[in-house]
Structure 1
Amino acid sequence: MHAIFKLGQVAAVASLTLGIAHAQILIGQTVGITGSAAATVAESMQGAALYIDHVNARGGVGGQKIEVISLDDKFDPKLTLENTVTLVEQKGVIGLFMTRGTPHTQGIMPLLEQHGVPLVGPSTGAIALHQPVSKYIFNVRAPYQREVEKAITHLNTLGMRQIGVVHVDDTFGADGLAGAQAGFKANSIEALFVEKFDRAKPDYSAIAPRVAQKQPQAVIFIGTGAAVVDGIKALRTAGVTGQIVTLSNNASGGFVKALGSQARGVVVTQVFPSERSLNYPVIKEAMDLARARNQGDLTPAMVEGFVSAKVLVEGIRRAGPKPDRARLHAGLESIRKWDLGGMELSYSATDHSGLDFSDLSIIGSDGRFRR
């Protein structure tokens, strides 16, 4: 990463901080720097660094630099909790930023409540983080359930009604399945099948042949990173030829690269505007900063990191000259109809949902996401 991130493991934090010997504003992050979500995590962190480094290069917020201390939880909920304890109780962070994973984020909610620590931009669309409102969680992205419902409605308009679901057996998978069931009901469709796989040790040896036997026109695949890549390859090897749809948590260049020759034609839902859409000032802003650093093209995951970082920084700005946990919380909750660049975001004491945007993309032959 770049200047604002201290990147490390649970036991030892290896500092990669450059030029910020004594950052005044400490933000914590626990995320799967290694593990099945690593490719997407790397891109979202890169997007966040684009904006926070840009802010720090101009003196930070009120003359104070922002430092994000990132600990690797290997996409393991137990490590997520351990890392959060370290960040909150030992490192003294005033807020947490961009956790990843549904069970991971749900597992630290009691700790957020206990210490009054705001979490900005969790990289999960679990409906449980939106309803009922969690006082200390400030969502940025739309819920997964909206993504799945939209995907099924789209498939139905294309005449596809033989649709099945393959999902990870955890709270994320259950959340996505609930969205699928709502989508089926809204379109008067019955699920062709529902299959689930183990989160820790995905095994498709029995699932793939069963799915192939059903001859689905489409498969909604709910899971993360490497597990979905392996699953798609297993389905194709078993003879499944139907459309495959997965969710925005897999919207990264790393996911496309891992799929290789199986990437083309896979539909990936999105919760932010296209990374090439100059109609949105926030996208142009991110493009310009990436170009200035010779970082190449944006990816959807980078856009999520960039937008989430903008929300975090706005909350810090509104927290005043001496930001702490309570002031950061108040600052975030004061955001009303804020234009972050062609997208409007509001929070209140009764609404921490953030943006309401969902779209569909398809992976083209060039490996890019096409809208």
Structure 2
Amino acid sequence: MDMKRKTALAVVAVTLVACLALSWRPARAQESKELLFGMSAAFTGANGELGMEFYRGMMAYLDHFNSSGGADGWTIRILPANDGYNPVPCFQNTIRFIEQDKVFALCSYVGTPTTTRVLPLLQKFEDRHIYMLFPFTGAQPLRSEPFGKYVYNLRASYFDETSGLVDNLLSIGRSRIGVFYQSDAYGRTGWDGVKRALDRYGLEIVGEAAYRRGASFDQDFTEEVEHITIKDVDAIIVIGTYASQGAFVRDARRSGFKGPIAGLSFCDSDKMLELLTEQSKRDGYDYTGDLIHTQVVPSYSDLNYPGVRRYREIMGNYKGVPMTQTEGCKPRRFSYVSFEGFLNGVLLAEMVKRMSDYPSKERIPEIMESLRNFDLGIGHHVDFGGERRQGLSAVYFTTVSDGIFNTFTNWERWRK
């Protein structure tokens, strides 16, 4: 990473941290008719821009909700805390949220290694009715016993995403699938999802390699690429973050691998595309071709969805949290990550509306289970009825066209 880009990112991070500091004040929800929710996420470090973008999307809607009077006068305030995508700070932030700030609930945590680390705290504080709402992870421990009963997930799971990728790749004759994954709870969950999907067809992962969490775009993954491609793979699924996956794509193409490279929604495909676009300009080689990405929200450019139109209207005019950007690229007005954060805000506001007569932590399960067939305007309805802990299961497949990741349905271009 060059100095100009480091400086640009530092300015954004400092600005956001200042915003977070201003929002951190003692909880007095009952006095002010304000409900407080604690959010631990990466706002700095190798995954910092993803955390910023997710927070920005959620706050765009919540600021709109609050400025419109909230729900019978009840407003929502988010207490954000930076964990740098590291489990220990996330654990510490969570303890502070519960013990010191007395938050109403935990909300919109970012990342599998961080979020899964705090799950035992939900069990420990069961008598205080602490629930986690809409974390930005598709990991299985948040959806199964013993901790799943304390978590309400909005998004599809990583098993949903990896199953969809494997099914479609096999349908076009690409059965020799390799996996490159982050060596932690996130990467292992994705790896397990690919393995389970292949098991259904009596197949195995052909080649695999892992990397340590926190890798930057400057990392050299030539050795890892060779370790996978030497097994004659015809497609690679990456379970990584935007910097690491971008670096892997760059080095895979430099090594001569021409097959499709697929990634999951957590990667922040928009950010990865920015990095690869800039690298393409420097090298005179297009690194953005034959990329596939799963998303858990529809394309933010598809105006057929009323939820997309609403997001673009509110997000396009939002000035509350600085937009993130890469050196040489324009700030991102819209992204899959901020759209998911925005939908989190919509659903959080809906929960508060439904309990505005008497907001209570104890009522969260009752209210969440009342969200049946709830329309977010994205083509699939949210359903938490019948003790479901995952509201949506839809997975959208995207590839690069017209300079952004857009949805597609025809996989024939990649038939082997």
Q: TM-score, normalised by structure 1?
A: 0.89
Please report how far the alpha carbon of residue 274 of structure 1 lies from its aligned counterpart in structure 2 after TM superposition: 1.7
Task: Verify the 8 A CA contact 2:176 2:205 in the aligned structure 1.
Answer: yes
Task: Verify the 8 A CA contact 1:31 1:99 in the aligned structure 2.
Answer: yes
Please report how far the alpha carbon of residue 252 of structure 1 lies from its aligned counterpart in structure 2 after TM superposition: 4.2
Give me the whole-angstrom Cα distance separating, in 2, the residues matched to 1:359 and 1:147: 9
Corresponding position of 1:258: 275
Corresponding position of 1:243: 260
Give me the whole-angstrom Cα distance separating, in 1, the residues matched to 2:276 and 2:97: 35
**Which amino acid is the alignment partner of residue 50 of structure 1?**
A
Q: Which moved more, 1:124-133 or 1:51-60?
A: 124-133
- 1:274 has 2:310 as partner: no
- 1:353 has 2:378 as partner: no
Unaligned stretches of 5+ residues in structure 1: 1-5
Task: Verify the 8 A CA contact 2:296 2:396 in the aligned structure 1.
Answer: yes
Corresponding position of 1:3: none
Candidates 99, 118, 122, aligned match of 2:135: 122
Task: Verify the 8 A CA contact 2:222 2:255 in the aligned structure 1.
Answer: no
Give me the whole-angstrom Cα distance separating, in 1, the residues matched to 2:354 and 2:138: 25
Corresponding position of 1:212: 229
Aligned pairs (5 A) from 1:1-371:
8=17, 14-15=21-22, 24-113=34-123, 114=125, 115-132=128-145, 134-200=148-214, 204-260=221-277, 261=280, 262-293=287-318, 297-341=333-377, 342-348=379-385, 350-364=387-401, 366-371=403-408
Instruction: Specify the SS of the correspondent of 1:330.
Output: helix
Give me the whole-angstrom Cα distance separating, in 2, the residues matched to 1:205 and 1:255: 18
For each residue in 1:126-167, what CA deviation from the matched residue of structure 2 results, as whole angstroms up to 9, or x when unmatched? Answer: 122112362221000011111111112211222222221111
Q: Which moved more, 1:219-228 or 1:141-150?
A: 219-228
**Which amino acid is the alignment partner of residue 118 of structure 1?**
Y
Give me the whole-angstrom Cα distance separating, in 2, the residues matched to 1:190 and 1:93: 45
Please report how far the alpha carbon of residue 8 of structure 1 lies from its aligned counterpart in structure 2 after TM superposition: 4.2
Please report how far the alpha carbon of residue 179 of structure 1 lies from its aligned counterpart in structure 2 after TM superposition: 1.4
Task: Verify the 8 A CA contact 2:375 2:381 in the aligned structure 1.
Answer: yes
Give me the whole-angstrom Cα distance separating, in 1, the residues matched to 2:213 and 2:263: 16
Please report how far the alpha carbon of residue 50 of structure 1 lies from its aligned counterpart in structure 2 after TM superposition: 1.9
For each residue in 1:295-339, what CA deviation from the matched residue of structure 2 results, as whole angstroms up to 9, or x when unmatched? Answer: 875321122111111111111122233423223343223322222
Give me the whole-angstrom Cα distance separating, in 2, the residues matched to 1:61 and 1:112: 27
Q: Which moved more, 1:340-349 or 1:310-319?
A: 340-349
CA RMSD across the alignment:
2.6
Please report how far the alpha carbon of residue 239 of structure 1 lies from its aligned counterpart in structure 2 after TM superposition: 2.8
Task: Verify the 8 A CA contact 1:141 1:356 in the aligned structure 2.
Answer: yes
- Compared with structure 1, are the counterparts of its residues 206 and 82 closer, same or farther at alpha carbon in structure 2 (3 Å cutoff)? same
Q: TM-score, normalised by structure 2?
A: 0.80
For each residue in 1:246-271, what CA deviation from the matched residue of structure 2 results, as whole angstroms up to 9, or x when unmatched? Answer: 10112342222122332343111111
Give me the whole-angstrom Cα distance separating, in 2, the residues matched to 1:35 and 1:23: 35
Give me the whole-angstrom Cα distance separating, in 1, the residues matched to 2:195 and 2:334: 33
For each residue in 1:90-111, what CA deviation from the matched residue of structure 2 results, as whole angstroms up to 9, or x when unmatched? Answer: 1121011111111211111122
Instruction: Specify the SS of the correspondent of 1:214.
Output: coil
Give me the whole-angstrom Cα distance separating, in 2, the residues matched to 1:252 and 1:95: 29
- Compared with structure 1, are the counterparts of its residues 13 and 366 closer, same or farther at alpha carbon in structure 2 (3 Å cutoff)? closer
**Which amino acid is the alignment partner of residue 296 of structure 2?**
V
**Which amino acid is the alignment partner of residue 127 of structure 1?**
Q
Instruction: Specify the SS of the correspondent of 1:165.
Output: strand
% identity of equivalent residues: 27
**Which amino acid is the alignment partner of residue 22 of structure 2?**
S
Please report how far the alpha carbon of residue 89 of structure 1 lies from its aligned counterpart in structure 2 after TM superposition: 1.4
